[in-house]
Chains A and B, each alone.
Chain A
Amino acid sequence: MKKRYLLLVLIILSLISLFIGVSDISVMDIFHLTDKQWQILVVSRIPRLISIIVSGASLSIAGLIMQSLSRNKFVSPTTAGTMDFARLGILVAMIVFAGAGSLSKMFVAFVFALAGTFLFMKILERIKFKDAIFIPLVGLMLGNIVSSIATFFAYQNDLIQNISSWLIGDFSIILKGNYELIFISVPLLFIAYLYANKFTIAGMGEDFSKGLGLNYRQVVNLGLIIVALITSSVVLTVGVIPFLGLIIPNVVSIYRGDHLKNSLAPTAILGAIFVLFCDILGRVIIYPYEIPINLTVGVIGSAIFIYLLLRRQAQ
Chain B
Amino acid sequence: MNYKTKTWLLAALSVIFICLFLFTDITGNWEYILERRTYKVAAIILTGVSIALATVVFQTITQNRILTPSILGLDSLYMLINTFIIFVFGSTTLTSTDKNIQFIVIVAIMILFSGLLYKLLFKRNEQNIYFLLLIGFIIGTFFDSFSSFMQVLIDPNEFQIVQDRMFASFNNINTDVLLLATVLIILTLLLFLRFFKYLDVLALGRDHAINLGVDFDYVVKRLLVIVAILISISTALVGPITFLGLLVSNLAYEFLKTYRHFYLLLGASLISVVALVGGQLVVERIFTFSTTLSVIINFIGGVYFIYLLLKENRSW
Contacts and interface: CB of A to CB of B under 8 A. Distances in A.
A137 B316 contact: no
Given A155-B292, A298-B141, A168 B148 contact: yes
Given A122-B310, A145-B305, A168-B152, A152 B295 contact: yes
Nearest to B146: A295
Contacts of A243: 141
A152 B305 contact: no
Contact of B310 (A126, A146, A152, A294): A126
Contacts of A309: 131, 134-135, 138
B130 A134 contact: yes
Contacts of B124: 313
B159 A161 contact: yes
Given A131-B130, A302-B141, A309-B131, A148 B242 contact: yes
Interface string B278-316: 000000000000111001101101110110011000111
Contact of B149 (A134, A152, A168): A168
A160 interface: yes
A156 B283 CA distance: 13
Interface string B146-170: 1011011000100100010011000
Interface string A123-145: 10011110101101110111011
Interface size class of B (residues with CB under 8 A): 35 or more
B145 A242 contact: yes
B58 interface: no
A291 interface: yes
Nearest to B128: A133
Contacts of B71: 137, 140-141, 144
A165 interface: yes
Interface string A281-315: 00000000001101100110010011001000100
B139 A302 contact: yes
Nearest to A146: B302
A294 B295 contact: no
A270 B144 CA distance: 26
A123 B242 CA distance: 21
A309 B243 CA distance: 26
A148 B301 CA distance: 10
A298 B147 CA distance: 12
A88 to B, nearest CB: 11
A141 B305 contact: yes
B299 A152 contact: yes
B239 to A, nearest CB: 13
A138 B309 contact: yes
B126 interface: yes
A144 B242 contact: yes
Contacts of A306: 135, 138-139
B305 A295 contact: no
24 contacts: A119-B310, A123-B309, A128-B315, A134-B130, A136-B134, A137-B137, A140-B134, A142-B309, A145-B243, A148-B301, A151-B298, A152-B296, A152-B299, A160-B163, A160-B166, A168-B148, A168-B149, A242-B145, A294-B145, A299-B145, A299-B146, A302-B141, A302-B142, A313-B126
Interface of A: 119, 122-123, 126-129, 131, 133-134, 136-138, 140-142, 144-146, 148-149, 151-152, 155-156, 160-161, 164-165, 168, 242-243, 291-292, 294-295, 298-299, 302, 305-306, 309, 313
Interface of B: 66-67, 71, 124, 126, 128, 130-131, 133-135, 137-139, 141-142, 144-146, 148-149, 151-152, 156, 159, 163, 166-167, 242-243, 290-292, 295-296, 298-299, 301-303, 305-306, 309-310, 314-316
